[in-house]
Structure 1
Amino acid sequence: MPLPLITLAAAAASFACQSPSHHDGDNLRCANVPGSMRLQGIDAPEMPGACRPGRNCVDGDPFAARDYLRGLTAGKTLQCVQEDTDSYDRRIVNCTAGTVNISCAMIESGHAVPRYAPLDCSGTSPVPETAPDVTVDPSTDPTPQTAPEPPPVIVPADTPARPGTSGPGFGMAPVILFGLLLVNLITWALLAIDKRRAQAGRSRERIAETTLLGWAMVGGSPAAWHAMNRLRHKSAKDSFKQPLLLISGLQIGALLGLLWWQFSG
């Protein structure tokens, strides 16, 4: 490719990121650029519930990593270069704040590990390049003065890390799955009981449709459909089937929306 075209291509891939924000320790969003981006060459701990089964997720505190990254970029305009795109069609970017390479700073702080792409961290450091000037007036003290110690390095953080979040976790997923299983068992049992009472002619002891639909609404709709077809109970009653269909459609839509939010960034 001719040199002018190479220069133009490099310029097109470079952009300024204004008001950066972060969902975790390796994620980036810019106020002036649409879409979520991933910092090049690093992998940070995943937020609770975000580590997919079978994936080798990074150990550590995801909130501390996110807060450290926020401290590096807060109030700054980053200079970024798009290096690639990932499997989710997100931009993979290499960003700097002044002379500090953000990805290298995250690795040096211990909040991220190098992964996925080579990263050149030579010559970059999150530590200030020069210490503040200290002037000593010899007339006020005849004894020799020792050189002042450099100021301590302060780890930037907007908010303290949340306790009890070290390492990737699945959060409340096992509890939610157990709860849904229990709700479905109860829903199926209620429909079976109502079917037996209907066959026995015990109409005064029948379970109200609102009660059955209520259990379906809190997660028992799969069991309601299974019992309705397996037991041949209420399969011909539109007063039960239509609300159950509406409840199931809303639940499927909510599940798809949650999955999209989970995997989109």
Structure 2
Amino acid sequence: MTIPMLVILAASIVAAGQTFTCTPTHVWDGDGPVWCAEGPHLRIAGIAAREMDGTCRSNQPCPSASAVEARDALVGLLGGPRGNIPTGHVVIRGPRLTCRSEGSAGGSRTAAWCRLPSGADLSCAMIRTGTVLRWDRYWKGPACR
């Protein structure tokens, strides 16, 4: 499978406060990055998942679910897997998300609060899967129901 040129280009950071559209194409782990067809790489705001090597960083909440469980939960919310690429990212063809940027999440990632087409908050939907934890230090989202 060849990687589309859009994916190879460096992702731009969406300025804090801006609303943007993300059509997910690839997922790394349960809190991102999620690659968007429009260019940005999302870090889902307000949540923490295990790293793909199974560890948790010392400064973040550490869920009991594995990184693979969290990644697969996110992939499920975004339409299901379509394959993999050599980097380990899961290829998806997700529904268009409406997102609001919190600015840089380090590297080439944009921290963002996103809504699924149903109107559901993606961060809350991930918390409900039980595979990620709310990260109070960065939580500026809605009260999840």
**Shorter-chain TM-score range:** 0.5 to 0.7
Aligned residue for 2:124, secondary structure, equals helix
Decide which structure has the larger Cα Rg and report it: 1
Which stretches in structure 2 are left out of the alignment for 5+ residues? 1-15, 80-93
Aligned residue for 2:70, secondary structure, equals helix
Q: Which amino acid aligns with 2:120?
A: V
CA–CA distance in structure 2, aligned partners of residues 100 and 64 of structure 1: 21
For residue 42 of structure 2, the aligned residue among 6, 18, 37 is: 37
**Contact 2:27/2:75, CA 8 A, preserved across alignment:** yes
Asked whether 1:94 is paired with 2:113, we answer yes
**Contact 1:20/1:77, CA 8 A, preserved across alignment:** no
Structure 1 or 2: more helix by fraction: 1
For residue 78 of structure 2, the aligned residue among 66, 73, 91 is: 73
CA–CA distance in structure 2, aligned partners of residues 85 and 56 of structure 1: 17
- Offset, 1:77: 0.6
1:1-265 correspondence to structure 2 within 5 Å:
10=17, 13-27=18-32, 28-34=34-40, 36-48=41-53, 51=56, 54=58, 58=62, 59-74=64-79, 75-98=94-117, 99-115=119-135, 116-122=137-143
Structure 1 or 2: more strand by fraction: 2
Aligned CA RMSD, in angstroms, stands at 2.4
Which stretches in structure 1 are left out of the alignment for 5+ residues? 1-8, 126-265
Q: How many residues align?
A: 112
- Offset, 1:60: 1.8
Q: Which amino acid aligns with 1:18?
A: T
- Offset, 1:89: 5.0
